[in-house]
Amino acid sequence: NAGVTQTPKFQVLKTGQSMTLQCAQDMNHEYMSWYRQDPGMGLRLIHYSVGAGITDQGEVPNGYNVSRSTTEDFPLRLLSAAPSQTSVYFCASIKPGSNEQFFGPGTRLTVL
């Protein structure tokens, strides 16, 4: 199993551009999450999903959209990138029956 994969690993955007961060998992986990990690802030929950077709907002959802059309994929879309969205983004899936999360390797995003 590849676990949780994320692409790209690095991305530089200009203010106002849009892009999609990809996340996929092959463990058949229903529950997936997106976090951003900023220095001194720990991880903050952006959006999460409890299954295909069902998503909900986390702590910092503004400026981000998600959808969940399949169990495997949970893409995160930045609608109009802003410098404040410069961060490292982590996708995670949750082991059924517990809250144990499996994290992807992250995407380092810089918005100029």
Partner 1 sequence: SQQGEEDPQALSIQEGENATMNCSYKTSINNLQWYRQNSGRGLVHLILIRSNEREKHSGRLRVTLDTSKKSSSLLITASRAADTASYFCATGWGWYTQGGKLIFGQGTELSVKP
The binding site for partner 1 (CB under 8 A) comprises 4, 30-33, 35, 40-45, 48-50, 58-59, 90, 92, 94, 96-106
Q: Phi first, then psi: give them for residue 67, nearest 5 degrees.
A: -150, 160
Residues 34, 39, 45, CA angle at the centre, nearest 5°? 20
Per-position b or e across 23-34, b if 16+ CB within 10 A of its CB: bbbeeebebbbb
Q: How far is the CB of 57 from partner 1 (least distance, A)?
A: 11
- Nearer to partner 1 by Cβ, of 49 and 87: the residue is 49
Q: Where does residue 112 rank: exposed (0-12), middle (13-18), buried (19+ CB within 10 A)?
A: exposed
Nearest distance in Å: CB 99, partner 1: 4
Residue 41 or residue 112: which is nearer to partner 1 going by CB?
A: 41
Closest contact distance (angstroms) between CB of 83 and partner 1 is 22
Q: To the nearest whole angstrom, how small is the minimum distance from the Cβ of residue 73 to partner 1?
A: 16
Cβ proximity to partner 1: between 14 and 98 the closer is 98
In sequence order, the 6+-apart residues with CB closer than 8 A to the CB of 100 are 94
Judged by beta carbon, residue 11 or residue 103, the one nearer partner 1 is 103
